Amino acid sequence: MANEFNIDRNRLIETVKEQAAIGGTDGGGLHRLALSDEDKQVRDWFHEQMEAADLDVRIDEMGNMFGRRPGTDSDAAPVLLGSHLDSQPNGGIYDGALGVVGALEFVRTLDDQGIETKHPIEIVNWTNEEGSRFQPAMMASGVWAGVHDRDAMYAETDAEGNTLRAELERIGYRGSAPVGPQEEYEAYLELHVEQGPYLEEWGQSVGIVTDIVGFTWGELTFRGEPDHTGATPMHHRSDALVAAADVIVRLRRLAEDLGERTVATTGVVDATPNSINVIPGEVTFTWDARDPDDAVVEAAFQRVLAEAERAAEREGVDWEWEERMRAPSVKFADRCTETMADAAASLDYDYTDIVAGAGHDATHLAEVCDTGMVFAVSEGGKSHSEAEYTNWDDCYRAANVLANAALRVATGAA
């Protein structure tokens, strides 16, 4: 089937480069932490681009930036598209930004071609997706969707003790619009780079995201006997770090046993007293286990506790645990995945279904309205680093899938 609707490839590329210059690093990456001076600059830039595209701009109380293009039917619900412009420390230039630029390019193309849509279009830059300077990640989309409390998030502080609210005010982006949907939304569509290796391994350019994995995060503590490493015979020891090491290795094995897509990691180990000649008396460490199937996540959680109990018994240490967070997996609306797949097929691109291993703003939006995501292949699967790379053809293809899917939804064709 012939397809008449194509975004402007060169303008997409130039706009990705323009934003990448704001907070750009010598290594070709991006350092644009949420609510930093660089974030203010890119917001000012995005504000200008939205006004130049004749969008009706509003900023909400969490600093989320929206630009609205009216529809022809005053009763029709808006279609929302976007992602985030903040980055990790020395992160990549595509993560988040490609999705915001892709949304902007969609409305620019509608204007070029004089296309009116039944549904209004809104494009959005969500505040603090990365969760690097202020936790949690996906913060302001979470407040918007009613998952997090606005005032609790205002009180979050960075490493210097600045509150999120004070930083929003400092850069002039604590807006006046109430945070949260003030009307029904037709759909939310987000373009993002994959940040994993699958599409490249499978030889695909575009991924239609069907699900986002669920996860369990928690912390285990073992308490043994701190003692002299030279004078204490081996059979007299209760070594908290040996018990912890046992669980950490088994965590990796259990991921291999449980499912093809299960991943499990210990990212933090805190040993006390952390001295070369003292047997570790107390060790606290984390688990992070993820899978698209919530039953597998629960199985992983139970296995972590069972392994910890066995390790504690073997080593003669006390133990305690706390699950800090449990996020169920997200299944995107069939309507959105089918429309994205249909768009990719009609454009004759190589595409496939994929499960997202990381959270995105779309995670929270799925609570509010029909939601879908499209991924662009990431070279080597690298992200949250200056080495993040997607070639321009693949950026263009994924952005064109977003645009064509959004056009179908906005005109009432899907």
Cβ neighbors of 38 (< 8 A, separation 6 or more) are 22, 23, 31, 32
Q: Where are the alpha helices (DSSP H) in 173-291?
A: 198-202, 240-258
Q: Is the CB of 279 or the CB of 362 nearer to Zn ion? A: 362
- Residue showing the smallest CB distance to Zn ion in the complex: 96
Nearer to Zn ion, 30 or 344 (CB): 30
Sequence-ordered alpha helix ranges (H) in 129-239:
139-144, 150-154, 164-170, 198-202
Nearer to Zn ion, 76 or 358 (CB): 358
Cα distance between residue 130 and residue 193, in whole Å: 14
**Contact between 388 and Zn ion per CB under 5 A:** no
Q: How far is the CB of 129 from Zn ion (least distance, A)?
A: 5
Q: Judged by CB, which is closer to Zn ion: 23, or 96? A: 96
Q: How far apart are alpha carbons 373 and 192 in whole angstroms?
A: 7
Residue 194 touching Zn ion (CB under 5 A): no
Point out which span in 93-101, 108-116, 297-305, 368-376 binds Zn ion (CB under 5 A): 93-101
User: Closest separation between CB of residue 190 and Zn ion, Å?
Assistant: 9
Residue that the structure tokens 């000012």 belong to: 44
280 lies in the binding site for Zn ion (CB under 5 A) = no
Does residue 95 bind Zn ion (CB under 5 A)? yes
- Output the CA–CA distances (angstroms, integers) from residue 114 to 50, 110, 117, 302, 413, in the order listed: 17, 6, 10, 57, 18
Separation of alpha carbons 287 and 269, rounded Å: 10
Least distance between Zn ion and beta carbon 78 (Å)? 22
Residue 192: CB minimum distance to Zn ion, A: 6
Q: What number of chain residues touch Zn ion (CB under 5 A)?
A: 2
Under the criterion CB under 5 A, does residue 39 sit at the interface with Zn ion?
no
Residue (15 or 383) nearer to Zn ion, CB: 383
Nearer to Zn ion, 96 or 218 (CB): 96
How far is it between the farthest Cα atoms of the chain?
83
Stretch of 40-48, 87-95, 180-188, 214-222 contacting Zn ion, by CB under 5 A: 87-95
- Decide if 301 contacts 216 (C-beta within 8 A): yes
Q: Is 96 in the site for Zn ion (CB under 5 A)?
A: yes
- Measured CA to CA in angstroms, residue 102 lies from 88, 388, 390 at distances of 20, 18, 14
| Site membership for Zn ion, residue 99 (CB under 5 A) | no
Query: How many Cα atoms are found within 13 Å in the side-chain-facing hemisphere of 258?
Result: 26
Q: Which stretch binds Zn ion (CB under 5 A): 35-43, 94-102, 150-158, 345-353?
A: 94-102
* Nearest distance, CB of residue 114 and Zn ion, angstroms: 33
Contacts of 231 (CB under 8 A, 6+ apart): none
In sequence order, the β-bridge partners of residue 219 are 286, 322
Instruction: Specify which residues 361 forms β-bridges with.
Output: none
Residue labelled with tokens 């909400």: 60
The answer to the question of residue 372 lying near Zn ion (CB under 5 A) is: no
Residue 94 CB, shortest distance to Zn ion, in Å, is 9
Which window, 62-70, 91-99, 323-331, 342-350, contacts Zn ion (CB under 5 A)?
Answer: 91-99
Note the residues at the interface with Zn ion (CB under 5 A).
Answer: 95-96
